């Protein structure tokens, strides 16, 4: 029996600017020069220009002029960087754009790490919409504690003239390196998620399985519609109900695995944010839903897969053996000229990891699922994808126990979409015509597994 959820329109969450700083900007930051993000040299890698002293001063970089306060461009072996140099900031120093991004800012990412052997420090991203006269904080305060560059992501979603300022807030002589600032253009409107008949390259093309919406009155079915994937989040369980994404060769490239597990600061204000350390000592992996290896075309897209809203407590054997084998196989199908629509989720309560059986972790704030499932729709690369699904389309559905002792033979866990729907109450592949759903959702795949 399939339960149908009505489609609800949803809006992406815009990051709140909780604090206002009405103090005057530095003189250099009041400059009126402008630059279009699309041609201003972003991502800014800080590899041009020279500034070797901490004294406040401006430097011309690839994207434009920036003011560095208690900061310099470092190029030593102790500076964490991907190119020749990066910014090094001490005390309560800052780096500030002296120009406006005239096409606004959507998602902004910043890579950061501690300098040398320094201790951890905190910093924040601030944004101005009045050419530097005042600034507002965006997102959470970030802690830099690693000697390897990590990526912090901020959902700004502001149109018009925008300029950025990065502030070290913890004071003291411990230093932070900043590198590779990226700015996504923002159109000035936040589109709703695609409707059930959406076209290609949309993560909800095959439907919204639970009618999730970005509505704070729906805390157990809250939609996070990200550029890299879409998901329904369950605030009270601290894990997603499901994650849906599209996979084709355009999503694959040479970007390295970022390993920058972090809280998702786009959740509504007041909601508990699962932290990178929330799974520590639990015996469960931070199990990706949308895999890191499915998003390697850019650093920012790979980094987005490490948000904790994309994770579930997953048995190490389940994650590293069974699930890894299926993920590798799905990318093999992609390399054979296919595109895939993938939906993954979990249900039930209680799983067995390397430290034994648990129903919750993180002081009860994260529920450990009993079962982990996935559905893959495999299509030859083309267009009008919904209309191309037929009784002959290969659809792989698996449902695995969240426990140790599993093998790489994921094929033994194959089931039907109908069976997963009965177990979860979801309406998977709801964008397909009812007559097609009736046929394809009843089938159990018997194709090759490697």
Q: What is the pLDDT of residues 42-71, one digit of tens each?
A: 889 999 999 999 999 999 999 999 999 999
Q: Where in the chain is the domain with CATH 2.60.120.260?
A: 20-183
CA distance 67 to 54: 11
Q: Where in the chain is the domain with CATH 3.40.570.10?
A: 222-440
Backbone angles phi, psi at 348, to 5 degrees: 80, 180
pLDDT at 10: 32
User: Does residue 292 or residue 188 have the better pLDDT?
Assistant: 292
Q: In what order do the strands lie in the sheet with 338-347?
A: 222-225, 230-234, 239-247, 338-347, 371-380, 394-401, 414-415
CATH superfamily of 20-183: Galactose-binding domain-like (2.60.120.260)
Q: How far apart are the first and last CA of the chain?
A: 32
346 has a pLDDT exceeding 90? yes
> Furthest-apart CA pair in the chain: how many Å?
70
Confidence bin at 75 (pLDDT 50/70/90): very high
DSSP state of 270: T
415 has a pLDDT exceeding 90? yes
Of 261, 399, 238, nearest in space to 323 by CA: 399
CA distance 92 to 146: 19
Helix (H) or strand (E) holding 168: strand 163-168
pLDDT at 422: 95
- Residue 423: partners with Cβ closer than 8 Å, 6 or more residues away: 347, 371, 373, 399
User: Does residue 428 or residue 105 have the better pLDDT?
Assistant: 428
- Specify the CATH number of the domain 222-440: 3.40.570.10
Reported as a single tens digit per residue, the pLDDT across 278-333 is 999 999 999 999 999 999 999 999 999 999 999 999 999 999 999 999 999 999 99
355 has a pLDDT exceeding 60? yes
Q: What is the DSSP string of 8-49?
A: ----PPPPP---EE-SPPPGGGG---EE-GGGTT-SB---SS
Q: Is 203 assigned a catalytic role?
A: no
Of 222, 101, 228, nearest in space to 165 by CA: 101
Reported as a single tens digit per residue, the pLDDT across 116-155 is 999 999 999 999 988 988 888 888 889 999 999 998 888 8
3-state class (DSSP) for residue 249: helix
* Catalytic, out of 203, 234, 246, 288: 288
C-alpha 330: how far from chain center: 20
């Amino acid at each position: 029996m399939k339960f149908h959820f009505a489609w609800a329109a949803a809006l992406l969450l815009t990051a709140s600017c909780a604090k206002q700083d009405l103090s005057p900007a530095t003189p250099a930051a009041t400059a009126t020069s402008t630059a279009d993000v699309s041609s201003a040299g972003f991502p800014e890698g800080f590899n041009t220009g020279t500034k070797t002293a901490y004294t406040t001063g401006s430097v011309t970089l690839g994207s434009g002029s920036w003011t560095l306060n208690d900061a310099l461009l470092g190029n030593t072996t102790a500076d964490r960087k991907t190119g020749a140099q990066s910014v090094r900031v001490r005390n309560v120093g800052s780096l500030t754009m002296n120009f406006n991004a005239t096409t606004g800012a959507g998602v902004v990412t910043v890579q950061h790490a501690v300098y040398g052997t320094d201790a951890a420090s905190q910093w924040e991203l601030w944004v101005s919409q009045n050419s530097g006269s005042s600034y507002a904080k965006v997102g959470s305060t970030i802690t830099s504690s690693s000697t390897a560059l990590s990526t912090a992501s901020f959902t700004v979603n502001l149109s018009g003239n925008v300029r950025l300022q990065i502030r070290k807030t913890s004071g003291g002589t411990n230093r932070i390196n900043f590198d590779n600032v990226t700015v996504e253009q923002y159109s000035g409107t936040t589109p709703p998620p695609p409707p059930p008949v959406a076209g290609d390259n949309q993560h909800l093309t095959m439907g919204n399985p639970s009618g999730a919406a970005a509505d704070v009155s729906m805390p157990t079915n809250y939609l996070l519609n990200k550029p890299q994937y879409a998901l329904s989040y369950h605030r009270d369980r601290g894990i997603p109900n499901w994650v849906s994404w599209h996979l084709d060769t355009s999503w694959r490239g040479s970007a390295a695995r970022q390993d920058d597990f972090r809280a998702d600061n786009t959740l509504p204000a007041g909601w508990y944010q699962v932290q990178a350390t929330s799974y520590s000592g639990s015996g469960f992996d931070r199990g990706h839903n949308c895999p890191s290896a499915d998003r390697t075309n850019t650093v920012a897209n790979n980094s987005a897969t490490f948000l904790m809203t994309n994770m579930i407590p997953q048995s190490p054997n389940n994650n590293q053996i069974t699930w890894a084998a299926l993920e590798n196989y799905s990318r093999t199908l992609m390399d054979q000229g296919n595109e895939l629509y993938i939906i993954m989720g979990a249900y039930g309560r209680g799983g067995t990891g390397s430290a034994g059986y648990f129903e919750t972790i993180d002081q009860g704030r994260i529920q450990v699922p009993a079962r982990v499932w996935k559905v893959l729709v495999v299509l030859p690369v083309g267009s009008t994808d919904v209309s191309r699904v037929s009784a002959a389309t290969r659809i792989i559905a698996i449902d695995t126990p969240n426990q140790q002792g599993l093998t790489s033979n994921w094929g033994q866990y194959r089931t039907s979409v109908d069976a997963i729907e009965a177990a979860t109450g979801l309406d998977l592949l709801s964008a397909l015509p009812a007559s097609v759903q009736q046929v394809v959702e009843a089938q159990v795949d018997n194709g090759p597994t490697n």
